[in-house]
Structure 1
Amino acid sequence: MNMMLEMLFGEALWRIWSKLVVAMLRLYGVQVGNGFFIKGHLLLKLRGKRKNIIIGDNVSVFGELDLRNRENGTIILCDSVVVDGPCRLVAAREAVVEIGEGSALTPYLLLNAGADVRIGKGTIIGPRASINASEHVFQRNTPVRQSGYEHKAITIGNDCWLAANVSVVKGVTIADGSVVGANAVVTKDTVPYSVNAGVPARQIGERR
């Protein structure tokens, strides 16, 4: 049915849908700017404050975007962010997830924030990336599920590109202009405008 309607009405159908979604979000208490466009579905699983979900101007969503918060977790999509879903963003405790202006999130991103995760302007996060600011504690004499978590902030700078299947662990800063190659696991800070690859990731070159 949706395909039939799209064939008949084209982009106009999704613009009407977008206006309905904005109206529902604002009634629900989510902050949404002007020019929001969604060609897909927005899932909200909010056990924290609804006002802590903030969507800027001219944000576009293609596919499915799953937003979740707990406690005082905050998720901010800055102006002109593009989401090519499905993607899941989770903010818990006092964590702030901030996706910078003009950045792009691609399919199957999983971002889990028990501490702040901040992504700068104009950055691309490639498909199936995992960005995790929380990690299970694993003590020998205590089951992992009962051992709790450690949380450390992650920063990803401006004009970065994380390619497919990249994993970023807690406490890492990816400097402005960094490129991280496919399948890399980033366990330590990068150098500005460096090219990084491997498990664990290491610098293999620089942008020219």
Structure 2
Amino acid sequence: MTTLEAYDDDRGNRIEFGGTVDKNIRIKFRGRNNVLRVATQQNIAQLFVDFDCDDGLVEIGSSRGVPGLRAAIRVGDGCQVRIGKNVSSTTTVAMSTAEGTSITIGDDVMIASDIQIRADDGHPIFDVRTGKRVNAARSIVIGNHVWLGLGACVLGGVTIGDGTVVGMRSVVTRSLPNNVVGAGAPAKVVKRNVAWERPHLTLDPPYRKPTAASVKKSTDYWTLTVDPDSRPSRSREIYAGARRRTRKGLKAVRARARTLSSRV
């Protein structure tokens, strides 16, 4: 199909959309009971969707006031791709799901050029000794108001918190908390307690933005980083308690020694 419009067939596949888009569209239904659901108010610049198997779902939220979304989406067996409101991309973002996994993208996400979001590796890898799979497909969650920088790759099993920036050419293999800059391959947190905004440095006035007063804040996402590892684990609490008891015991021993020495 090369037109995005309402559709259904005798295999249970359907498109739920209240408008018509006839440019840069390619939708393939190879299986059964697949659903493509697109908000009527949208700004899709390009959409390629391959429903390779059965029981797949793609949902795309409404879009207004941001550049258009360009996406190439592969949907595996029982998989879901959910894209929130006002999600934009500079060029085509590639998304892939397989084996019952999902990709969830929040609202107001800004995706740069040459981005890959992959819940799976495309082909299986096995342990030679046991025959077990070593690269299971895993779901991905990208929060609200996230910026994926040029050439970034987000891999399976990852959650990216609200307000976070992923640096250029980064490979995200582990989860990132909210309001951080994650960079590198594999990506790690290089800066905490940050916030970003959409206005371009050269295309949107003022053309110098030295402080936050230069832009309109997305206040919901100006928050301090909450690091999931910041709370002490039970083992850390036990260790800390043992250290406190040890220090207390040493003080008692020293006090007893001083008392005995004073009697001599």
The counterpart of 1:134, out of the listed 120, 142, 145, is 120
Match of 1:3 in 2: none
Work out which structure has the larger RCO, using CA pairs closer than 8 Å and 6 or more positions apart in sequence.
1
2:164 touches 2:179 (CA, 8 Å); kept in 1?
yes
Distance 1:158 1:89 in 2: 20
Match of 2:157 in 1: 171
Distance 2:43 2:55 in 1: 25
Distance 2:60 2:137 in 1: 22
Match of 2:47 in 1: 65
Match of 2:91 in 1: 107
Match of 1:32 in 2: 17
Residue identity in the other structure for 2:125: F
Q: CA RMSD in A?
A: 2.5
Q: Secondary structure at the match of 1:139?
A: coil
Distance 2:160 2:85 in 1: 17
Structure 2 runs not aligned, ≥5 long: 196-264
2:69 touches 2:87 (CA, 8 Å); kept in 1?
no
Asked which structure has the greater CA Rg, the reply is 2
Per the alignment, do residues 47 and 106 of structure 1 end up closer, same or farther by CA in structure 2, a change over 3 Å counting? Answer: farther
1:101 touches 1:121 (CA, 8 Å); kept in 2?
yes
Paired residues, what number? Answer: 180
Distance 2:169 2:41 in 1: 31
Structure 1 runs not aligned, ≥5 long: 1-19
1:30 touches 1:50 (CA, 8 Å); kept in 2?
no
Percent identity over the alignment is 23
* Residues 50-199 of structure 1 mapped to structure 2, 5 A cutoff: 52-62=35-45, 64-69=46-51, 70-80=53-63, 83-85=68-70, 87-114=71-98, 115-135=101-121, 136-139=123-126, 141=128, 150-199=136-185
Q: Compare 40-49 and 183-192 and name the one that shifted more.
A: 40-49
Residue identity in the other structure for 2:179: Y
Per the alignment, do residues 83 and 122 of structure 1 end up closer, same or farther by CA in structure 2, a change over 3 Å counting? Answer: same
2:33 touches 2:54 (CA, 8 Å); kept in 1?
no
2:86 touches 2:107 (CA, 8 Å); kept in 1?
yes
- Offset of residue 127 of structure 1: 1.2
- Offset of residue 32 of structure 1: 0.3
Q: TM-score, normalised by structure 1?
A: 0.77
- Offset of residue 90 of structure 1: 1.3
Q: TM-score, normalised by structure 2?
A: 0.61
- Offset of residue 41 of structure 1: 1.8
Residue identity in the other structure for 1:96: Q
- Offset of residue 149 of structure 1: 5.9
Residue identity in the other structure for 1:32: F
Q: Compare 49-58 and 107-116 and name the one that shifted more.
A: 49-58
